[in-house]
Amino acid sequence: MLPEPTERLRFRPMMMADLDVVAALLAAPDPVRVDRPVRTREDAVRWIEWQQRNYAEHDFGLWVVETHDGTFVGDCGLTMQDVEGTAYVEVGYHVVPELRRHGYATEAARAVRDCAARHGVDHLVALVRPENTPSQGVARKLGMEVERTAHVHGGDALVFGCRLRTATG
State the pLDDT at residue 110.
Answer: 97
Question: E strands, the chain, where?
Answer: 9-12, 62-67, 72-83, 86-95, 123-128, 145-152, 155-163
For the entire predicted model, the pTM comes to 0.91
| Parts of the chain with a pLDDT under 50 | 169
User: Which H/E stretch holds residue 163?
Assistant: strand 155-163
Class of domain 9-163: alpha beta
